Structure 1
């Protein structure tokens, strides 16, 4: 399977919300996502809620791009193709994958460049 085939006519939605990525010591009940490993907990919250998080570090100003497509587990290189394409236009990413969906976060001031690049790859980007 070619990962770029999934980008052709694939829908990518852009969140209305802006997010903050926070390093913390505990979960946050209103978080969009909580990622916890052996050494730290990261929560992603709507930027308006960042003051409710007891965080040691906060990186604000992220927009969420959600790939609204069913991606099989055996598909190799999908996120690599997306990240590489965005890197070509100097857009850095923060990625969260769930069981069936990939979310790519880009800085708000890099959103236009990211959208144009994804459209160049054949994606239908929607608000």
Structure 2
């Protein structure tokens, strides 16, 4: 299965909310995602919730792009393709994968460039 073919006419939903990526020692019930390993906890949380969070580091200004297509486990190179295309547009990404889909966060100031590149790949952009 070719990732470019999967992206053709695939829907990418842009979050209305703007997010912060935070390093902390705590979870938070309002977090979009919590990533915990042996050295740190990372939360992705709406910026409006940051004030209620005890965080060591907070990086604000992220928009979430959700690839609204079920991505099978045997699909090889999907994120590599997306990340490479966005890198060529000078867009940095923060990636979170769930069981069957992927979310790519891009800085607000890079959103237009990211969406243009995804449209060039054949994606349909859905604004919330």
Q: Quick check: TM above 0.5?
A: yes
For 1:5 and 1:34, the matched residues in 2 are separated by 31
Q: Deviations over 1:43-76 (max 9, x none)?
A: 0110011111100000000000000001110110
* C-alpha distance after superposition, 1:72-100 (max 9, x if no partner): 10110000000000000100000000001
Q: Secondary structure of 1:73's partner?
A: coil
Match of 2:35 in 1: 35
Distance 1:46 1:65 in 2: 14
TM-score w.r.t. structure 2 length?
0.98
RMSD: 0.5
Cα separation, 2, equivalents of 1:89 and 1:51: 33
CA shift for structure 1 position 29:
1.1
Structure 1 stretches lacking a partner, 5+ long: none
TM-score by length of 1: 0.99
Q: Which runs of 4+ in 1 moved over 6 A?
A: none
Q: How many angstroms does 1:11 deviate by? A: 0.3
Q: Which runs of 5+ in 2 are unaligned?
A: none
Match of 1:55 in 2: 55
Alignment of 1:1-127 (within 5 A): 1-127=1-127
